[in-house]
Chains A and B, each alone.
Chain A
Amino acid sequence: MSTHFNVSHRTRREFLTTAASGLGGAALTSILAGEGAFAARKPRRAAGALVNPLAPRQPHFPATAKRCIFIFMAGAPSQLDLFDYKPKLQELDGQKMPESLLKEMRFAFIQKDSATLMGSKRKFSQHGDSGMWFSDLVPNIATCADDICMIKSMQTDQFNHHPGQLMMQCGEAKFGSPVMGSWLSYGLGTENRNLPSYVVLTAGRGSSGGATLWSSGYLPSIHEGVRFRNEGDPILNLRNPEGMPRSLQRKGLDALRDLNQMRFEEIHDPEITSRIANYELAFRMQASAPELTDLSGESAGTLEIYGADREDPEVGAKRGGGPDQYRTFARNCLLARRMVERGVRFINIIHASWDHHSNLERELGFNAGMADQPIAALIKDLKQRGLFDSTLVVWAGEFGRTPLGENRPGYKEVTGRDHHPKAFSIWMAGGGVKGGLTYGETDEIGWDVVKDPVHINDFQATLLRLFGVNHLKLNYRHQGADKRLTSITRESHVIRELLA
């Protein structure tokens, strides 16, 4: 028998084998009727439909991480100005690169013949017992040095934004692939029946990937990320129509349940039972989602450390796009903690854009200022509440930025960096990763990885491993192949050194 992960995708034969052993259709319905809130099925895949696809399930191995807050810095932040300290690059500022290094390289905008190296203008220093390096743009995150597991040797296959973002979220740059939040929801279900298993929070402008960054792809759509909104109702359609009080809503749902039940007794289609359960869940969600997003119960101290009421500074930076980013991002971090407390499996905080082809100093400063304080507060808050060890926090973009300054035709001066898939930095904290570890190295100018390269798929295999999931065994049959989060055409490895 295949693993329990294939519940909603069992072949008819498997189902009948189970049915023969007494666990079949009708029996399952009654066992699970109480939780039969969700059902997803494809034509002729109905066998698994009676199993609640979001019921919590045990992973392959004991898990250290139970939940994940994935902070996705879409657009690709400059690792060279935040984490990967390269004094040599500063020294060589303005010089050309050896041609041999450039030969095979593809860039989005850089003109190879005239491009020169660009040193970071930031000041770097070491922090914590581990002596981890951080630039002066992230002083608060730096105070968490000994909790952070920094990977400086990340590599990706993609150098354009949308494909790169898909690569980071889906394991391959293919449209129609599920993102990792959907994979975890599919594999592990959720611990809170009154909230979605996978929530997306956004700040600033939309990202290059748009809704494809939380798409369940070929997985059942029940595992799609549910976007919580920053204004108005936290979830679309959550609020009753004007003039409909909750008491009458309840009476209406009672009548609806009774009529659906009568129909079920006539037609016997278990989907009706499932529909009844979903209306009940929707009703509970109407209460639980606003309760979740209502920050009035948080202490002034908590709001203060997250910076939940900060104004955007007047620095003339606009790339992040949209008003009120500091406040929104900080609140997103705080909301993520509240979701973690309530058992939401995967929370994706997406902020765009970090695509600093020009005006890097001002723009990156603006973004880092937005992100630094709330993220550090989040880590400390999780620790204080005893949630840190079981909650994985990730900071990542889709690729890195070049040590070369960007000299795109039409730019008067070189003030930014181009896309760089060969080497970039991401970090994790909590959830069973090794704090204080800096893993992998780039060369003197940060051009290429010289030690312990980590492909995005390796990182994803490791992330799943933290959840107790063997990345090779969390599968879904699609287009004839047993697909998984990591690419099926690449051999990916769990990086054990990252695990505590």
Chain B
Amino acid sequence: MSRFLPEILGPAAGCAVVLSFFCAEIKGESQEEMKPDFFRDVQPLLSEHCTACHGGVKRKGGISFTNRRDAFLEAKSGAVPVVPGDLEKSELVYRISTEDEDDRMPPEEALGAEEIALLTKWIAEGADWPVHWALQPVEKPKAAAVSGGHPIDRIVSARLKEAGIEPSPEADRRTLIRRLALDLTGLLPTPGEVERYLTDESADAYEEVVNRYMASAHFGERWARHWLDEARYADSAGYEKDSARADAYRWRDWVIEAINEDLPFDEFTVKQVAGDLLPGATREDRLATAFHLMTQFNLEGGVDAEEDRTKRVIDRISTIGSVWLGSTIGCAQCHDHPYDPVTQREFYEFYAFFNNADYEPIFIGEIPDDAEARVIKRYEQWKPIAEMLEAQLTNKSLSNKIQASLSRLRNFDNTNGFTRVVAERAENRRKAYVFRRGDFLQPLKEEGELTPGTPEAWHPLVPRAVAAKKAAAGEKDKEKKAEPVVADRLDLARWLVDPANPLPARVSVNKVWMHLFGAPLAPIPQDFGARGEPPTHPELLDWLAHFFVHEAGWSRKKLIKEIVMSETYRRSSRHRPALGDVDPDNVLLARQNRFRVEAELVRDLHLQAGGLLSLKVGGPSVFPPVPEDVAALSYANNFKWKTSEGEDRYRRGMYTFYKRTAPEPTLVTFDCPDASISNPARDSSNSPLQALATLQNEVFIEAVRSMAKNVLSAGAEDDGARLRAGFITALGRPPVAAEQSRLLRLLKESRDYYAGHTEEAKELAGAYTVASVPPAESAAWVATLRVVLNLDEFIVRG
């Protein structure tokens, strides 16, 4: 067969186009010396153009480009796709470069010259295919060993220097304290806090602020909410019935407390994944496992209970993949993973860890006198269902009955003090099989029962029993094979936080970084696989991961503190148009990022500025006022939105009862995720509906009315002073002269209007009046301060 070899093998011009961005970063290195980097340059091409047909799902011609072994294997035709260093023998080179349309790959459209050159160059240079970056062991980067400055800053500065970019200066103190308050507690700094920091001349003034906010109970709320997104937390069960899950908050409160107490992330993980299996598990350990019960639960009539159970198990696997492993392992439920080395069989081995994780109600909270009687009663209600669930394995027709009974039992409400936790089934354990095409009705029994296990490509899991035996046997019996011991969920949990397992540490620090910079280092936090994108600062990601595990002992607070103490964190977030062409997305971190706060915080900040926000931590979810037709959206009519009274109307947004099929509309408008799947990174949209919400919604109007009242009753001497006070309350800074005069103009325009419209003035001022102030004056201030609270700056963390 005659072969066409592309001539662009030397210093490839096309290659330079593709690499131009990276070349720009690495000044001084000539293009000839640029080696294609597998993860940065080659794998994206294979994923984009090849693996759809030659991957985990389809292996046309017996070829797969998902891993090194397969790509270097002989194909059905006898040809070998990739032979390192040998262009003549590498079928891939011929296929992508031939002009024969029958042979050319990809069939629909040829690759561009530069892409062909890149792949060819890669093969010519030995087809380097390293272990996937995310699976390589975490090693302490060299940069950390150099002395002087913060390691984070050293790594970031080195990159900036290569690119010839000067970092931005440190932000001013007003910006810094607002940034810290929002990032660490989700609240505005009070004017007093701002003042104190501004006048603190000690060297550790900044650190003092950091320590104070990290010790606040609101720190736990702030960081718990991030975790709730990942856990798909909601206060209802989902699907058609979507009945209330009035006990869900118990687990939510456990998270807040754990974070406030700085429960190390390894323990935090083990308790949630397998707290029930810990030796001497406490009630709190068991409560932590409710993480798994945040899945939706289908109580619609006619649902097959076993089908719904398998769906929940699959959801748990996908969630663990996303949260701890940065893996889209859920994609392997119907077939081998199309891009990553996870087979369908491996998916169901992972599934086997959870196949017997049932749940049961336990008593939690303060124990009343009649607790025992209540527990007994609950178990009596529970027992027949458990029996039916058992029998249903052989008798499918029980499904309806089970669903109906579960429906009746669905409200483990807080007045009863019950909550559901995971309980491992001891007897009649279910067997796990591969489900053909993911269909629970088609277990592939002929392929044998599966034992729990993790995919081969990942860090090996050694069950604790085996490890213990090995240790006991000592060196001499090394040869002797240990008896096979089946791993359980606790082994899995400990494997997740094994310091030698590189994924969870990398994945976790990436998200912490994201919350403190508005953008993660590895751009797709839930996908560290072939289709994800490699980190922009690999060295930094590894330094953080290493620090987290080995120096901070998995302490979340230590990790966060380490980051916020860096200069990189403290830089001004002011955009630099001059960098628009070089680094428009601020990938190189010359400055901090500026981003809108999350949905719950938008409301919190308004209420706080109005002096209305309740700072109560934890407890049952609350029902602030919503329009009637929103509350009525529910299908099953099984639920009444009973509007809360008093303080509970003004609780922080994270405590608003989240009903999956009819969520509170303002939350949705500001991108609160719908709790259907694990969500590590929220959208940050910018829409007219958001403008309408903060301008017009009753809650927001009430906040500004209250704020006007506070400003007017504080006894400031003139308009300027009053305006200044309001401005500082909201933005933590006084207005500049132009801002001041523009707002005073609006104040005058508003006064002029309301002077002749007393009735309207009374309406706008509402119930928040000050005895000595005429309604027109109150109304004018409401109209003016409403603008202050609608400034972009107010809901932006700068």
Show the binding face of A for B, using Cβ within 8 Å: 11-13, 15-17, 19-20, 24-26, 37-47, 106-109, 111, 159-163, 175-176, 196, 205-212, 215, 220-222, 224, 226, 229-232, 235-245, 247-248, 251-252, 255-256, 258-260, 262-263, 266-272, 274-276, 278-279, 281-282, 285-286, 321, 352-353, 409, 418-419, 477, 479-481, 489
Looking at A159, A196, A267, the one whose CB has the most chain B CB atoms below 10 A away is: A267
A16 to chain B: which residues have CB within 8 Å? 20-21
Q: Which residue of A lies closest to B738 (CB)?
A: A262
- Of B340, B634, B692, which one neighbours A206 at CB under 8 angstroms? B634
A321 to B635, CA, bound (A): 10
On whether A238 and B527 interact (CB within 8 A), knowing A160-B302, A268-B574, the answer reads no
Pairwise interchain contact B581-A268, C-beta atoms closer than 8 A: no
Contact B739 A259 (CB under 8 A): yes
B526 contacts across to A, CB distance below 8 A: 479
The interface bits of chain B over 687-709 (1 if a CB of A lies within 8 angstroms of the residue's CB, else 0) are 11111110111000100000000
Residues of chain B within 8 A of A106, CB atoms compared: 304
- Partner of B627 from A42, A196, A236 at Cβ < 8 Å: A236
The 6 A-B pairs at the shortest CB distance, nearest first, are namely A108-B302, A210-B661, A175-B676, A243-B763, A243-B764, A480-B531
Whether B668 contacts A224 by the Cβ 8 Å rule is yes
B750 & A251 in contact (Cβ 8 Å cutoff): yes
CA distance A245 to B757 in the complex (A): 10
| B598 shortest CB reach to chain A, Å | 12
A51 to B743 Cα, complex, angstroms: 32
CB distance from B497 to the nearest CB of A (A): 24
CB B172 to nearest CB in A, in angstroms, measures: 12
Is B713 an interface residue when CB atoms closer than 8 A count as contact?
Answer: no
Q: When chains A and B are docked, how far (Å) is the Cα of A85 from the Cα of B672?
A: 47
CA–CA, A10 to B238, complex, Å? Answer: 33
Q: Which residues of A contact B746 (CB under 8 A)?
A: 251-252, 255
- Asked whether A479 and B701 contact (CB < 8 A) given A40-B683, A160-B302, the answer is no
Min CB distance, A210 to chain B, in Å? Answer: 3
**Chain B contact residue count (CB 8 A cutoff):** 115
What is the distance, in angstroms, from A171's C-beta to the closest C-beta of chain B? 15
Docked CA distance A26–B594 (Å): 17
Min distance, Cβ A47 to any Cβ of chain B, angstroms: 6
Contact of A419 among B302, B749, B784 (CB under 8 A): B302
Contact status B575-A268, CB under 8 Å: yes
B287-302 interface (Cβ within 8 A of A):
296, 298, 300-302
CB distance from B725 to the nearest CB of A (A): 17
* 6 A/B residue pairs, CB under 8 Å, sorted by A: A26-B580, A109-B400, A207-B635, A237-B693, A243-B760, A243-B763
Q: Which residues of A contact B661 (CB under 8 A)?
A: 206, 209-212
Are B764 and A242 in touch, CB under 8 angstroms? Answer: yes
* With A222-B687, A237-B696, A243-B779 as contacts: A480 and B328 at CB distance below 8 Å: yes
- On whether the beta carbons of A481 and B580 are closer than 8 Å, the reply is no
Stretch at the interface among B462-470, B499-507, B786-794: B786-794
Collect the chain A residues with CB atoms within 8 Å of residue B519's CB: 43-44, 46
Take A107-B302, A229-B629, A278-B686 as given contacts and tell me if A244 and B783 are in contact as well, using a CB distance cutoff of 8 Å: yes
Q: A175-B296, A243-B760, A479-B330 are in contact. Are A282 and B692 (CB under 8 A)?
A: yes
Within the complex, which residue of A37, A42, A211, A479 is in contact with B684, where a contact is CB–CB below 8 Å? A42
Residues of B within 8 A of A266 (CB): 574
**What B residues does A211 contact at CB under 8 A?**
633, 661-663, 668, 674
Contact yes or no, A160 B685, CB < 8 A: no
Distance between Cα atoms of A409 and B300 in the complex (Å):
16
B683→A263 contact, CB < 8 A: no
A181 to B786, CA, bound (A): 34
**A-chain residues with CB within 8 Å of residue B594 when the two chains form the complex:** 267, 269, 271
**B229 in contact (CB, < 8 A):** no
A205 to B639, CA, bound (A): 13
Q: Which residue of A is nearest B335, CB measured?
A: A489
Contact B696 A241 (CB under 8 A): yes
Q: What chain B residues lie within 8 Å of A268 (beta carbons)?
A: 574-577
- Asked if B753 CB lies within 8 Å of chain A CBs, one says yes
Assembled-state Cα–Cα distance A311/B514 (Å) = 56
With A206-B661, A240-B696, A241-B764: A42-B739 Cβ-Cβ less than 8 Å: no
Q: Mark B637-677, 1 if CB is under 8 A from A, else 0.
A: 10000000000000000000000111101001001001011
Residue of A nearest to B661 (CB): A210
A101 to B468, CA, bound (A): 56
Distance in angstroms between the alpha carbons of A270 and B576 in the assembled complex: 11
* Contact residue among A39, A176, A232 (Cβ-Cβ distance under 8 Å from B677): A176
CA distance A356 to B759 in the complex (A): 53
Kindly list chain B residues whose C-beta atoms are within 8 Å of the C-beta of A111: 397
Q: How far is the CB of A190 from chain B (nearest CB, A)?
A: 12
A256 / chain B contacts, CB cutoff of 8 Å: 787, 790-791
Nearest-CB distance from B21 to chain A (Å)?
A: 5
Q: Which residues of B contact A263 (CB under 8 A)?
A: 791-793
Does B338 sit within 8 A of A, measured CB to CB? yes
Interface residues of B in 566-592 (CB under 8 A from A): 573-577, 580-581, 584-585, 587
Asked whether, in the complex, the Cβ of B339 is within 8 Å of the Cβ of A278, the reply is no
Task: Say whether A252 contacts B240, CB under 8 Å.
Answer: no
Known: A206-B635, A278-B686, A278-B687. A25 touches B523 (CB 8 A): no
Are the C-beta atoms of A243 and B686 separated by less than 8 Å? no
Q: Does B620 contact A (CB under 8 A)?
A: no
Please, which residues of chain A bring their CB within 8 A of the CB of B177? Answer: none
Set of chain A residues within 8 Å of B523, measured between Cβ atoms: 43-45
Q: Residue B691 contacts which of A209, A241, A278 (CB distance < 8 angstroms)?
A: A278
User: Closest approach, in angstroms, between the C-beta of A258 and any C-beta of chain B?
Assistant: 5
The closest CB in chain A to the CB of B521 belongs to: A44
B331: CB under 8 A from chain A?
Answer: yes
Q: Compute how far the CA of A20 lies from the CA of B493 in the bound complex, rounded to whole angstroms.
A: 47
Interchain CB contact under 8 A, B660 and A210: yes
Minimum Cβ distance to chain B for residue A380 (Å): 30
B364 CB-CB contact with A under 8 Å = no
The answer to whether A248 and B676 touch across the interface, beta carbons within 8 angstroms, is: no
Check if A38 sits within 8 Å of B687, measured CB to CB: yes
Contact check, B529 vs A210: say whether CB atoms are below 8 A apart: no
- Taking a contact as CB atoms under 8 Å apart, the answer to whether B787 and A221 are in contact is no
A181 → chain B, closest Cβ, in Å? 15
B408 within 8 A of A: no
Within 8 A of A (CB), among B755-769: 757, 759-766
**Whole-angstrom distance between the alpha carbons of A471 and B630 in the complex?**
34
Closest B residue by C-beta to A54: B687
Residue in B630, B635, B760, B764 whose Cβ sees the most chain A Cβ within 10 Å:
B635
Do the beta carbons of B683 and A41 come within 8 Å of each other?
yes
CA of A25 to CA of B660, assembled, Å: 38
Question: Shortest distance in angstroms between B684's beta carbon and chain A's nearest beta carbon?
Answer: 6
From B300, B745, B753, B784, A162 is in contact (CB under 8 Å) with: B300
Q: Chain A residues near B742: list those with CB within 8 A.
A: 255, 258-259, 262
* B635 in complex: contacting residue of A210, A262, A281, CB < 8 Å: A210
Q: Does B111 sit within 8 A of A, measured CB to CB? A: no
Chain A residues with CB under 8 A of B662: 206, 210-211
Q: Inside 8 A of A205's CB, which chain B residues have their CB?
A: 635, 637
User: Is A26 in contact with B577, judged by CB distance below 8 angstroms?
Assistant: yes
Kindly state the separation between the CA atoms of A210 and B661 in the bound complex, as whole angstroms: 5
On whether the beta carbons of B695 and A24 are closer than 8 Å, the reply is no
Q: Would B753 and A245 count as touching, CB distance under 8 A?
A: yes
- Whether, in the assembled complex, B453 has its beta carbon less than 8 Å from a beta carbon of chain A, the answer is no
How long is the Cα–Cα vector from A180 to B16 in the complex, in angstroms? 40
B242 an interface residue at 8 Å Cβ cutoff? yes
Q: Which residue of A lies closest to B676 (CB)?
A: A175
**B520 interfacial by beta-carbon distance below 8 Å:** yes
CA distance A211 to B536 in the complex (A): 37
The answer to whether B763 touches A242, judged by C-beta atoms less than 8 angstroms apart, is yes
Q: Say yes or no: B627 contacts A262, CB within 8 Å.
A: no
Chain A residues within 8 Å of B665, by CB: 236
The residue of chain A having its C-beta at the shortest distance from the C-beta of B517 within the complex is A43
The docked-state distance in angstroms from the alpha carbon of A229 to that of B628 is: 11
Does B334 interact with chain A (Cβ within 8 Å)? yes
Q: Which chain A residues border B784 with CB–CB below 8 Å?
A: 252, 255
Q: How far does the alpha carbon of A11 sit from the alpha carbon of B85 in the complex, in Å?
A: 30
